[in-house]
Amino acid sequence: MSRFSFYDDEAHPSPWQHTWRAFKSSHIALIGLAVLLLFVFFAFFAPLVAPYDPIYQNTEALLIPPSWTANGSIAHLFGTDALGRDLFSRIMYGCRMTFGTSLLVVIIAMLIGVTIGTVAGMLSGVRSSVVNHLLDALMAIPTLLIAIIIVGILGSGLVNSMWAITLALIPQFIHHTRSFVRGEMKKDYIQSSTLDGASNLQLFYYSILPNMFETLVVQGTLALSIAVIDISALGFLNLGAQPPLPELGAILATGLDAGYLAPWSIAIPGISIFLMVLSITIVGDGLRSALRKRVNR
């Protein structure tokens, strides 16, 4: 028996429900999200699902082809490398290291960059002009080149490469945050809040930050894809993760030694890096479109 109600209230979805509905309307965005969640799963649960130790060398299983080839073995899904290490396990651990470190680097760079960018955006006069010119000079230099210079000073290694990429990404967050905050500070609702006695911290937390989500999503996904490429590039150049650490760029560099005999040792980590960057870009673009549709409702 249906329950009678005097009030016929219409259910209104929350802003996040609007965002999800707009996001899932794009099939490409959903496919990108599924691939990205697979890498996230590897990043968190690789030790639980990997069939072998990624650094274990089996001298009786050297250069075994992938399982889908005629000479392949189901025991090694992606085959083995020149030292007999299971490539499937190394790829899972490589996703864990490359994606996990990239995500940590972007979070740190975003927190520092947004904080400094907000302060710089609320400044005016000579101080604001000096900060603007310094940021323009740093933005003209590619992040990978900045990272290589910093690694050259600090020394090679995964931790040093993480710090290098973090320092290289911070100016981008500062620049975009500063530009957004300066544009918002000129709008009427900010000036009204200022006249009501709101402090700069209250202005940022209650007025500016809620409107900054689209900018943070765009810059965060862009920075994450850059971080993945830079960490892989530094590992490939032997400036980042050092052997035997299973990082995708280092795995790709190791596979070059036996590239003619085992082309899968180059193709599989290269495809993994490509799919990781592509899925991050697709998800970021889908989120940006969904947030924009939510705002225009």
> Is 271's pLDDT higher than 80?
yes
Q: What is the pLDDT of residue 35?
A: 94
Instruction: Considering only residues 2 and 139, tell me which one the structure prediction assigns the higher pLDDT.
Output: 139
Q: What is the pLDDT of residue 157?
A: 87
Please name each of the domains of the chain with its CATH number: 42-295 (1.10.3720.10)
Q: Which residues pair with 100 in a beta bridge?
A: none
Instruction: Considering only residues 23 and 127, tell me which one the structure prediction assigns the higher pLDDT.
Output: 23
> Is 274's pLDDT higher than 80?
yes
Question: Could you report the per-residue pLDDT of 242-256, keeping only the tens digit for each?
Answer: 878 889 999 998 888
**Of the given ranges (73-77, 200-204, 237-241), which has the lowest mean pLDDT?**
200-204
Q: pLDDT band at residue 3, thresholds of 50, 70 and 90?
A: low
Q: Rounded to 5 degrees, what angle do the CA atoms 184, 189, 191 make?
A: 80
Q: Which amino acid is at 41?
A: F
Q: What is the pLDDT of residue 88?
A: 92
Q: Which residues pair with 80 in a beta bridge?
A: 86
Question: Could you report the per-residue pLDDT of 8-67, keeping only the tens digit for each?
Answer: 455 566 667 777 888 888 889 999 999 999 999 998 899 899 989 998 888 888 888 898
Q: Crossing angle of helices 213-236/87-122, nearest 10°?
A: 130
> Is 168's pLDDT higher than 60?
yes
Among 119-123, 162-166, 197-201, the range of highest mean pLDDT: 162-166
Q: pLDDT band at residue 280, thresholds of 50, 70 and 90?
A: very high
Q: What is the pLDDT of residue 83?
A: 86
Rounded mean pLDDT, 106-110: 94
Instruction: Considering only residues 153 and 7, tell me which one the structure prediction assigns the higher pLDDT.
Output: 153
Question: Could you report the per-residue pLDDT of 70-97, keeping only the tens digit for each?
Answer: 888 888 889 888 888 999 999 999 999 9
> Is 196's pLDDT higher than 80?
no
